[in-house]
Structure 1
């Protein structure tokens, strides 16, 4: 094995994690294998999977940058930002989407490359050290997410990363708990998604639904979990109701979906070249 193969393996594993998140169903308010053309995203599963593949070269480049640098330095953070912006352009040409997932997966892939023996919370701790540095090459104009974060005092994607991805860790714990209880893998993943939704200050939801809408979604996710999660009849009934409600309102908890993809990537470590 060589470093290039290792970098590509990490990128492929990250895209596979994103694809597993896309294919999970039913996801309240989020794209899934059902009739996506009738949903707010206006994208079908094939186009979302195609554009997800466009992340692969950029994620491999991020892994290579981390491995080459060897430490969580300001220079590495700036290089990751530059690669990420180029990758966003490539993904836009392939159909768009996945911006939040690119941010989370990019930092986690870089962390995994920087510390190949790390697992679980060790990976998120390394990502925290990378994210602690400012991206000195970033555009001066604020993004929609940063504007919403400033308006409502939410942590946002940047705050989540600088805190060491607490919701990725929560999702990993939820996966472990559900699996230990004998839940089928899709239901374990849905419980992990709902765990993230129940507390995340999702800036995409804040933008479309405001603080009241965010609290409404968080409460709905908690109700499903308190009913026993998606492995119980009551939990599945609550999930279906929450799904109908969010799609009727056009509310999309995109941040939760991106962080679930990050958790599924970390959960799959270690990865080996094909």
Structure 2
């Protein structure tokens, strides 16, 4: 079995997870198949699905780097960062988007390559070990996310990774709970997304809406789950109201969407390598 095929299979699984997140509807404030004009996000669903494919070569390269290195080292962290920045450029040429998903999926794909056959918390623990190292080659200028994190004391994407992706783990628990109740898969995924929204300190929301807006989104997500979740009539009514509210405000909880994609990838493990 060739390592390159293993790496490509992990990358394909990650892109499929992102595609499944994009296909899910209705996603409050996030692009989905209904929203071709992309009122909140300024990127339509079709272009996002197309540009998601541009992540595959970079994700495969990240998996290859992790498999070659064999353990979470500062050198591996720096190499993943360099591949990620190159992939961002490729994705921008394909239409843009997915920066948060690339960060989460890149670390999780690398973690899965480090720990073949691992699932769930084993993968997020491996990702935590990688993220614990500083990317020595990263640009010194602060990103918008790091600036917002510093301003409001939010964990941000780096903090989420260094904590072992707690919101990915919560999403996995929500997927399992809703599935065990016999609900459709789409409801399990929506409930998982809302579970993330309830507690994530989304730096994109903090940038556009401030702490009040973040709390508003967290409260709205919790209201849907408290109503019984998206598999119930009351929950669906609460979801429709929440969705309309976020679109009207043009607030987009993009961090939650990226972490749901990460959870769907981890949920798909272990993946089967095709000959």
Give TM-score, length-normalised by structure 1.
0.99
Aligned partners of 1:36 and 1:42 also within 8 Å: no
Which position in structure 2 is the counterpart of 1:57?
57
Question: Given the alignment of the two structures, is residue 215 of structure 1 paired with residue 226 of structure 2, yes or no?
Answer: no
Aligned partners of 2:171 and 2:263 also within 8 Å: yes
Question: Given the alignment of the two structures, is residue 108 of structure 1 paired with residue 108 of structure 2, yes or no?
Answer: yes
- Give the distance between the partners of 2:133 and 2:116, measured in 1 at CA: 21
Count, aligned residues: 274
Deviation at 1:38, TM superposition (A): 4.7
Aligned partners of 1:8 and 1:60 also within 8 Å: yes
Give TM-score, length-normalised by structure 2.
0.99
Aligned partners of 1:145 and 1:156 also within 8 Å: yes
Give the CA RMSD over aligned residues.
0.7
- Give the distance between the partners of 2:41 and 2:234, measured in 1 at CA: 28
Q: Which runs of 5+ in 1 are unaligned?
A: none
- Give the distance between the partners of 1:45 and 1:235, measured in 2 at CA: 25
Question: Given the alignment of the two structures, is residue 236 of structure 1 paired with residue 219 of structure 2, yes or no?
Answer: no
Which position in structure 1 is the counterpart of 2:134?
134
Structure 1 runs, 4 residues or longer, greater than 3 Å off: none
Which position in structure 1 is the counterpart of 2:13?
13
Q: What does residue range 61-76 of structure 1 map to in structure 2 within 5 Å? A: 61-76=61-76
Which position in structure 1 is the counterpart of 2:176?
176
Q: Which runs of 5+ in 2 are unaligned?
A: none
Which position in structure 1 is the counterpart of 2:254?
254
- Give the distance between the partners of 1:214 and 1:247, measured in 2 at CA: 15
Deviation at 1:118, TM superposition (A): 1.0
- Give the distance between the partners of 1:42 and 1:243, measured in 2 at CA: 16
Which position in structure 1 is the counterpart of 2:194?
194
